[in-house]
Structure 1
């Protein structure tokens, strides 16, 4: 994914990201696809919870995937909570307390992976080990991933934004409220609202950030299938404006979108922009950064090899 911080923010949250980007040399690399990597490690994700299932069946695999991305050069790793919800865990028979614990555990595992990575860096005699892994002491952020309501439904509606007339702003805020609160207090550095399909859900997320007095900064990533609007048909510019209205939203971006659309989308919402796509998008990366993207990484079906290639493609652009 690629994003740039939203201009005009004067909060300490904005300073956090600006300082992080400065230490990264102006461009930071986000991790890539998670579920497919879990499957490559042997996980069975045939479940409505998808990758969140591994939080209680295979947490060691979750940690291993995080480490793979860190060793591939990722500067930001996202927790395995995209499809993790209290409602979803309760449907599997977990209590509210157990469900909340699993949500917090998703961030804890990512933080543990970061600690393990730093230990490996200290044990390494150079920045790069002989097997090609990138072992370099550098700033790393953990972002708590929050998927859309459609991700919970597991019916593909996060790619259409069609939730039906019964789903209004209050419904979405009530659905997401406790999860957002828990993840904001979990120790994550950022909250990543991913695959937001419409203005309504963007507004719900932004209002929760404001109403719950959440201190953790966030980004909003929308998905598009026509290169102009988000998947629901809502204007991307209007969606970006919703993000820009909240000082806690430090970046607005694009994910789960064909790479050929990313550059124009970045330019259309500049200075707040982003891009995420599949394995063949590495040649686009420098163009996205030239257009203003400052966070670039991967999405569905991308791998640690993709992130390693992005890291290498940006090596000449990064100033440290």
Structure 2
């Protein structure tokens, strides 16, 4: 499959050379392994190198790492544009197929096809995204253990079935370097920020349950969820170089209020903001018409948990993976709740709804299916399916999002906005939203 990354190296060895960039002699994918690169690549790639690691994590080689310039974009800008739905973009634009054999969903490409993953993220960077989220939304040690191996290596007593914890940690951390490289491939050497995508616990289950909140019994309290989130985030914290590249931690698609407490407790353990703790946001999913979380929590109750004293306050709070048609009433509820509950601190608002239009996602079949004429969330009797959908309408998604953003900005209830798309919002949608935002900014000067 041809993508932006492969095109960059056409005439210098093609796909095989690209894979040599990404694969070490021992077969482990690692972005920094440059031991077997044709010398022409060194001549062609006009970015500086540095020798800042004495040894690479994959022990088979020594390496020199591509030094990607420090991102200069200000994370405190009043409006930041996120990317869109990575997994659905891989399906729709890059021909990737997901199934029960790929429980990591987009994260599976960290193992199977990093160049294609980079191509998808580069498409969002080229479309104008200020922030790229890493391909780690569904990543977990359990998910890697359930993933059938694509090599012949038996590691850590796994007898060739699944990936061991140290391998999983390597792959998860590689997502950060791949996301950073997307800005470079898009020609934005000094213009992008990274968000570490950490989905809800339900996103790591099989089938996923982030739209229902139907969690395992051991996750019935916040302490169990805290253990899960703490263990996962420490995988990234332990790699100080990769961790330093993160501008935001994104806890996404949370369906139950106790998980909000769990992620805030997790951030508390990371130290003060000048040390290990970057800015973080919490976004929740509202799949039903009642404007409540799947566990029945109201927006007011949610905001109380998000902004209660005694724990690190989130940089932003909001909504993702939710129908665009529900965003206006939900945002109003968030604004009212923040004004009444937290007069001394107002976070930013983060919103990235679905762009699914005429489709709904069946988490049991793991397929996007046409929805009924009435739209909304569907439930097939007896199927066990959990379905969620987005708005249909005559206007393009990017135009509807622009109108929504304009309305929110005019009310002036938030110090800043982070806006983007979730499932089925692709690079073209983000590009249209970018263009509308830039046109409005130019007209106001």
Q: TM-score range by the shorter chain?
A: 0.7 to 0.9
The answer as to whether partners of 1:197 and 1:230 remain within 8 angstroms in 2 is yes
Larger radius of gyration: 2
Displacement of 1:208 after TM fit? Answer: 0.5
Q: Are positions 1:295 and 2:295 aligned together?
A: no
Displacement of 1:163 after TM fit? Answer: 1.3
SS in 2 for 1:275: strand
Q: Are positions 1:101 and 2:170 aligned together?
A: yes
Aligned to 1:212: 270
SS in 2 for 1:139: coil
The answer as to whether partners of 1:43 and 1:58 remain within 8 angstroms in 2 is no
TM-score by length of 1: 0.81
Distance (Å, rounded) in 2 between the aligned partners of 1:274 and 1:70: 19
- Kindly report the root-mean-square deviation, in angstroms, between the aligned alpha carbons of the 2 structures: 2.4
SS in 2 for 1:158: coil
1:180 to 220, 230, 233: 233
Aligned to 1:85: 140
Structure number with the higher helix fraction is 1
Structure 1 residues 261 and 52: alpha-carbon distance in aligned structure 2, compared to 1, 3 A threshold: same
Aligned to 1:148: 200
Aligned to 2:115: 60
1:114 to 183, 198, 208: 183
Aligned to 1:131: none
Displacement of 1:174 after TM fit? Answer: 1.4
Structure 1 residues 138 and 18: alpha-carbon distance in aligned structure 2, compared to 1, 3 A threshold: closer
Gaps of 5+ in 2: 1-70, 148-161, 336-345, 356-395, 410-415
Gaps of 5+ in 1: 1-15, 122-136
Q: Are positions 1:41 and 2:94 aligned together?
A: yes
TM-score by length of 2: 0.60
Distance (Å, rounded) in 1 between the aligned partners of 2:179 and 2:418: 19
Structure 1 residues 113 and 35: alpha-carbon distance in aligned structure 2, compared to 1, 3 A threshold: same
- Determine which structure has greater relative contact order: mean sequence separation of CA pairs < 8 Å that are 6+ residues apart, divided by chain length: 1
Per-residue CA deviation, residues 126-155 of structure 1 (Å, 9 max, x unaligned), is xxxxxxxxxxx7631110100111111032
Displacement of 1:248 after TM fit? Answer: 4.9
Distance (Å, rounded) in 2 between the aligned partners of 1:157 and 1:193: 15
Question: How many residues are matched?
Answer: 285
SS in 2 for 1:301: coil
Q: Which segments of structure 1 move beyond 6 Å, counting only runs of 4 or more?
A: none
